[in-house]
Amino acid sequence: MTVNSLSRQSPFTTADGSAIRSILDSTNAPVKNQSLAEATLPVNGETQRHYHKQSEELYFILEGEGVMEINGEVCQVSPGDGILIPAGTWHQIRSSQTTPLQFLCCCSPPYSHEDTYFE
């Protein structure tokens, strides 16, 4: 059985410049097909617009509000929202001007810097 506590995970910076804490991935568990991480964007923070050739992503908003953009389509997001980001789609998430944004990110196959492409 593998149980990892979020509080014991050190943050790292992804290729798009966001800071995340990996909850479960191949660096800290016997994971083969997916990864799960927690990300936090500061007030008025944003990820760099990018896409993944291989990884499909799921975001789940825990706290705060923001704006999600996927292939030019823009939507307000808030706690309880689940977001599908298909592989190969350009995307970016931005926090509001008043609150930080905290969300979970699940990638399949697992996140890798090498699978992250920028404009």
Task: Give me the tens of pLDDT residue by residue for the chain, a chain 119 residues long.
Answer: 999 999 999 998 877 777 899 999 999 999 999 999 999 999 999 999 999 999 999 999 999 999 999 999 999 999 999 999 999 999 999 999 999 999 999 999 999 889 999 98
Count other Cβ atoms within 10 Å, centred on residue 33.
9
Q: Is residue 2 part of a domain?
A: no
Structural domain total, the chain:
1
Counting other chains too, the contacts that 77-82 makes at CB distance below 8 Å and 24 or more residues apart are 82/58
Domain containing 82 — which CATH number?
A: 2.60.120.10
Residue 109 belongs to domain spanning: 12-118
Per-residue pLDDT, 12:
83
Q: Is residue 88 part of a domain?
A: yes
Per-residue pLDDT, 118:
93
Residue 109: asked if its preceding bond is cis (omega within 30°), the reply is yes
Per-residue pLDDT, 47:
93
CA 95/CA 64 separation, integer angstroms: 7
Q: Is residue 22 part of a domain?
A: yes
Q: What predicted TM-score, i.e. pTM, was given to this entire model?
A: 0.94
C-beta separation of 6 from 40 below 8 A: no
Q: Is residue 4 part of a domain?
A: no
